[in-house]
Amino acid sequence: MVIKIKQPRGTLAEDIIYHANALITGFKEAIEPNRLTIQYPRELRWVPERFRGWIMLDIKKCISCFQCAWACPVNAIQMYRAPNGKFYPGIRYTECILCHFCVDACPVGALVPTPVHDIAYVDFDEVKFKPEDMSRPPEYVFDESERVIKYEIKDGKLLKIALPKDEIKKRIEELDKVIERSGGAPAAAGSST
């Protein structure tokens, strides 16, 4: 059976109005653009609390239940067998969509969300985090930021607000707290390793 789908068409007057509106929007953007550019890496985008970033594993808490692997919608979690006979999760960040379903599914809080999202990889293998890689801070966190930028919308206008440098320090301190809670070594404040 062949199903024909008709393209919805308006009247001639409606078509003219649509096109006129599109042209007006284009002209407005050309004269007074309502868009912002972050000068990455010198500027870093501010991320809100509970931002879904890179995930740490508190291996001492993990009970090898596989719930995280089953919850993952894109099959990004691979379970690795450890010498003690237990299986621990690793995440392939080529597939991971940072939905944090795995974090929510973990019954013992062994997967700890962090706000880290600027990780550089030296080669393709590094994108696949094994359990031991997830148990310590990532090696190549990109942080050359001089300013943290926050977007705000005021009176329909998109505004770029530069937060004070202290905000960067605060973010690093917050990350250190997360890492410490997970039993890892704190990241060096302000480092770009």
- Cα 53–54–56 angle (5° rounding)? 130
For ligand SF4 (CB under 6 A), the number of binding residues is 26
Q: Which two tokens stand for residue 184?
A: 């890892």
Considering beta carbons, is residue 74 or 161 the nearer one to ligand SF4? 74
- Cα 165–168–171 angle (5° rounding)? 150
Closest among 177, 172, 102 to 143, alpha carbons compared: 172
Q: How far is the CB of 184 from ligand SF4 (least distance, A)?
A: 15
- Interface pattern 80-109 for ligand SF4 (x via CB under 6 A): ---------x-x----xxxxxxx--xx-x-
Q: How far apart are CA 182 and CA 121, in angstroms?
A: 23
What do you get for the CA distance between the two ends of the chain, in Å?
Answer: 60
Q: How far is the CB of 168 from ligand SF4 (least distance, A)?
A: 25
Considering beta carbons, is residue 41 or 64 the nearer one to ligand SF4? 64
Residues that bind ligand SF4 in the complex, under the rule CB under 6 A: 62-68, 71-72, 74, 76-77, 89, 91, 96-102, 105-106, 108, 110-111
